Chain A
Amino acid sequence: MPDINLTLNGQAVSGTVENRTLLVDFLREGLGKTGTHVGCDTGQCGACVVHVDGVSVKSCNVFAVELDGSKVTTIEGMANADGSLGVIQQAFQDHHGLQCGFCTPGMVMTAAALLKENSDPSEAEIREYLDGNICRCTGYHNIVKSIQAAAAEMNASPVAAE
């Protein structure tokens, strides 16, 4: 079985995986990082979204072995250095953008990817971008509001976006 090395949330990690091991299973079972969730088995729900080398990826759709040498960011890597909530996370709490919390890691990671591409998205653009993430609790209303608020906060104080 192959060994892989990657950077997870800024830390070097390594492990031995089967060729068929999915990234999400390596994160959850291999590394004990259970913040990334599995909500379906067809790449539809988006609960497992992480960033690989800065790009959002559904971690149920990639094999861990493909990512040797990559930089992976998960929900566990989204807080500020002092442990306080990052801008997007704080916006989700402030605007009640989550209920059961299960889809939330994927929503936050997708929102971060959106705001990197488009710092001032319209409501329609946000809804379109969330196409790959399903939430059953919120009816999406407050998720959209949270992302709008995060964008406004980042634009008001650009340092926060770093």
Chain B
Amino acid sequence: MPKDSGIGASSKRREDVRFLTGKGKYTADISVKDQTFAAFARSSVAHGRINSIDIAAAEAMPGVLAVLTGEDFAEVGGNPAGWLITSRDGEPMKEPKRSPLAIGKVRHVGDAYAAVIAETAAQARDAVEALDADIEELDAIVDMSEAIENSDNLVHDEIGTNLCYDWGWIEDNKAAVDAAFESAPHVTSLELVNNRLSPNAMEPRVSIGDYDASTGDYTLHTTSQNPHVTRLLIGAFVMGIPENKLTVIAPDVGGGFGSKIYHYGEEAVVLAASKKINRPVKWVCDRSEAFVTDAHGRDHVTKIELATDKEGNFLAVRTETQANMGAYLSNFATVTPTFLHGTLMAGPYKTPHVYVNVKAVFTNTVPVDAYRGAGRPEATYSLERVIDKCARELGIDQLEIRRKNFIQPDQFPYTTPVALVYDTGDYDATLDKVAEIGDLAGFAARREASEAKGKLRGLGISTWIEACGIAPSALVGQLGARVGLFDAATVRVNATGSLAVMTGAHSHGQGHETVFAQVVAEKLGIAEEQIEIVHGDTSKIPFGMGSYGSRSLAVCGSAIVRATEKIIAKATKIAAHMMEADAADVVFENGNFTVAGTDKSKSFGDVALCAYVPHNFPHEELEPGLEESAFYDPANFTYPAGAYACEVEVDPDTGEVDVVGFAAADDFGNVINPMVVNGQVHGGVGQGIGQALMECVVHDGNGQPLTGSYMDYAMPRANDVPSYVVDHSCQTPCTHNPLGVKGCGEAGAIGSPPAVVNAVIDALQSGGINVTHVDMPVSPSRVWNAIQAAK
């Protein structure tokens, strides 16, 4: 029987009530007394030299309080890249300075070069129109190959190249990989594009800067997935504000998907402007701005080769990728195509030799950074597509070719040739499971039924793995990370036995307020309702690296468990004191402390009260109070994996693709709240189907974005996706964190795009149409053109 509370229960989400009644408190909903409003002047050209900005007319507009330009930030530091990548030749990556407002040049459409602060939002916008900026348009650098070859036209003149880095992983593997290809009986190669996406969290970004001249304190309310990281970036790097003088609050946040990890220039501008005018400054991004300022995702061009023997045993994988950085390095931009991508190129397979090359390129386009899955969808897509093509070339069943190459359960821990150590997994189990829940046995009959109505039906498989629970600080430090990726928690037991749990995770849809309470309730044997989860405010929680990379439960949740264990240890001492027993004899079970072998017992609530009414404590041995903190640094990444099966119907006359079935069997290790986990997979798969069939950010040859609104950028709507069949009953618990959990947030977005595209190819091939690849998004026109070309 399913549990009704604690670990494993589908507890209803407590946060839902406020969201369902209009009582959520998103940043745009917050009004600060005497607030003013900011609007930004943004470049309409992709590449231009700022000759002058005349602000006089704007300053004279009604309600205008201040105008800021890049010159106001000439003395402050730049927004840094969080990860230093070293090129194959040993040189560090090129890292141009990124100012909150552009100085000297504008480098993408939407690049902000001035900000107007006014009494109302409308006045600020009106005044932006009155700015007179002389911006001389330069040739835009859009295509990555041209950017690399053309050293005369540079996005950043001062670095002398458009190449950020040329990275090899692992360089020492290269000779063996090349040799394996030389002698391989069969080589399959594929060139593919991983399309640029706009994350499109439904809540646009908002920031409110509030400087208090009487104390020198800054407060920033902002739409962030990681308020402490934002505080660190603004304080230590961009503006030089000490942490004790800067509070960052991220209240309810309406989705992130990566795009709200990063520190954006607007946050620094509202803080600086607030100090300048001595009043709070609020900025609310609109969707049109979001399309040209929120960091985009993906945008890789890859050539992948797979060497096999005639039986389909994998011998080697080799890839060459161009990764678009856009115009500036966003905070995680450099690590996404490298350590979050190259290290995953072994997949769940025992391929002995793997080599990955990535060239990161500056272009006059919106910056690109981590978006749901971040590097791992790109790796999975390349690998699962080339395997599919290989299976077809060799005439091997698509499930069979995967099975014969899977790492086997008795091989863990398994060190891949690209330097990860998978701790546990069972890839056949999830593939068996998806065959069952997706009723693959019935596919032939369904294909027949589709054909009877003139449609081609295809089945696509993808077996994916990711490294998440980011990350062991020691490891990422060796690889160039400029931050630690541990996390922190404080558990505060109140005198009446209720709890506040402060976590470094940030919930922007994941349901932490419910799920983390389930974990603590289980550990302490108390009711979930007694526990409050506090997050999103640097003044209330000890520290935190935030939520991304499917890390919240695996890392932040582990910190909560560790802090809870300390609570139990301290409470055991108090209970022993209360019952005049030796602490070693006191057992904690089901919320009660009992002296073993006796009927002496104290409830958790009794002990909590005693901690705060310590009338006869031996103070040298026992402190009053009951509050503990823990910092948790994982020993390894976690490695969730799964198998996805997608069925599509393709209309051979129009090229239209309809996803008619999608089954996902995942291994997330232990699961705290099955309902929430299923929801995470649904959402990820929905985004993956969007990437596969619909979504793409397009810049024209002049760097002008052609997809600047929901009129032009195709977001998946309810009618574009099917109902999903999901399962997470295959569980190989993580071996190195106290909950045995692996993380589920990104899975759906990682595993689904290749399953969809493989299904489209399968459908076309079933109709005798010899199409071996169609780039994403697999739109009707692309499919139709591919069909015509194959005729």
Chain A residues proximal to chain B, CB less than 8 Å: 18, 20, 28, 33-42, 44-45, 47, 74-76, 78-79, 85, 89, 92-94, 96, 98-105, 108, 123, 126-128, 130-131, 133-144
Contact = CB atoms under 8 A, between A and B. Distances in A.
30 contacts: A28-B29, A33-B22, A34-B22, A34-B29, A41-B286, A92-B16, A92-B20, A93-B13, A98-B16, A98-B19, A100-B252, A101-B16, A101-B18, A101-B24, A102-B203, A102-B254, A123-B723, A130-B717, A130-B719, A131-B719, A134-B202, A136-B201, A136-B255, A137-B202, A137-B255, A139-B724, A140-B717, A140-B721, A141-B682, A143-B718
B710 A44 contact: yes
B200 interface: yes
Contacts of A130: 717-719
A78 B22 CA distance: 9
A85 B21 contact: yes
A134 B710 contact: yes
A104 B717 contact: no
A108 B17 CA distance: 13
Contact of A138 (B18, B23, B686, B711): B686
Interface string B6-48: 0000001101111111111110110000000000000000000
Given A137-B255, A141-B682, A144-B723, A99 B511 contact: yes
B508 interface: yes
B253 interface: yes
A35 B21 contact: yes
B683 interface: yes
A127 to B, nearest CB: 4
B161 to A, nearest CB: 36
B771 to A, nearest CB: 28
A76 B18 CA distance: 10
Contacts of B687: 136, 139
Contact of B718 (A33, A79, A99, A127): A127
B719 A102 contact: no
B20 A100 contact: no
B710 to A, nearest CB: 4
Given A39-B203, A92-B16, A141-B724, A44 B709 contact: yes
Nearest to B682: A139
Range, interface on chain B: 35 or more
Contacts of A44: 709-711
A99 to B, nearest CB: 4
B286 A100 contact: no
A75 B16 CA distance: 13
B17 A93 contact: yes
B724 A47 contact: no
B287 to A, nearest CB: 4
B686 A140 contact: yes
A72 B13 CA distance: 29
A142 B286 contact: no
Contacts of A134: 202, 710, 715, 717
B201 A128 contact: no
Nearest to A129: B718
Contacts of B295: none
A123 B718 CA distance: 10
Interface string B294-329: 000000000000000000000000000000000000
B748 interface: yes
Nearest to B30: A34
Contact of B288 (A41, A99, A140): A41
Contacts of B675: 96
Contacts of A18: 122
A116 B257 CA distance: 34
B683 A136 contact: yes
Contacts of A37: 26, 28, 202-203, 254
A47 B558 CA distance: 35
B257 A42 contact: no
Interface string B671-688: 000011011001111110
Given A45-B710, A92-B16, A93-B16, A99 B22 contact: no
A99 B683 contact: yes
A135 B204 CA distance: 13
A65 B236 CA distance: 48
Contacts of A103: 202, 254
B22 A74 contact: yes
> What 8 pairs between A and B have smallest CB-CB spacing?
A35-B22, A139-B686, A101-B19, A102-B254, A100-B509, A44-B710, A99-B509, A34-B29
A105 B257 CA distance: 21
A47 B686 contact: no
B683 A138 contact: yes
A138 B23 CA distance: 20
Contacts of B153: none
B629 to A, nearest CB: 28
B683 A128 contact: no
B702 interface: no
B692 to A, nearest CB: 13
B15, B20, B286, B687 — most chain A CB neighbours (10 Å): B20
Contacts of A92: 16, 20
Contacts of B684: 139
B408 interface: no
B765 interface: no
A104 to B, nearest CB: 5
Given A44-B709, A102-B255, A96 B13 contact: yes
A131 B718 CA distance: 7
A108 B150 CA distance: 53
A35 B679 CA distance: 23
Contact of A93 (B20, B204, B719): B20
Interface in B689-722: 709-711, 715-719, 721
Contacts of B724: 139, 141
B679 A39 contact: no
B708 to A, nearest CB: 9
Interface in B753-790: none
Contacts of A35: 21-24
Nearest to A106: B202
Contacts of B723: 123, 141, 144
B510 interface: yes
Nearest to A83: B21
Contacts of B23: 35
Nearest to A101: B19
Contacts of B26: 34, 37, 102
Interface in B395-436: none
Contacts of A85: 17, 20-21
Contacts of A78: 20-21
Contact of A108 (B20, B678, B682): B20
Contacts of B22: 33-36, 74-76, 105
A100 to B, nearest CB: 3
B697 to A, nearest CB: 15
B255 A139 contact: no
B509 A41 contact: no
Contacts of B18: 101
Contact of A100 (B21, B28, B201, B685): B201
A28 B22 CA distance: 11
B200, B676, B679, B709 — most chain A CB neighbours (10 Å): B679
Contacts of B683: 99, 136-139
Contact of B21 (A36, A76, A140): A76
A137 B749 CA distance: 11
A20 B684 CA distance: 39
Given A93-B17, A100-B252, 10 more contacts: A34-B26, A39-B287, A42-B287, A89-B21, A98-B19, A100-B509, A102-B24, A134-B202, A136-B715, A139-B724
Nearest to A33: B22
Interface string B190-224: 00000000001111100000000000000000000
Contacts of A75: 20-22
A96 B676 contact: yes
A7 to B, nearest CB: 17
Contacts of A131: 717-719
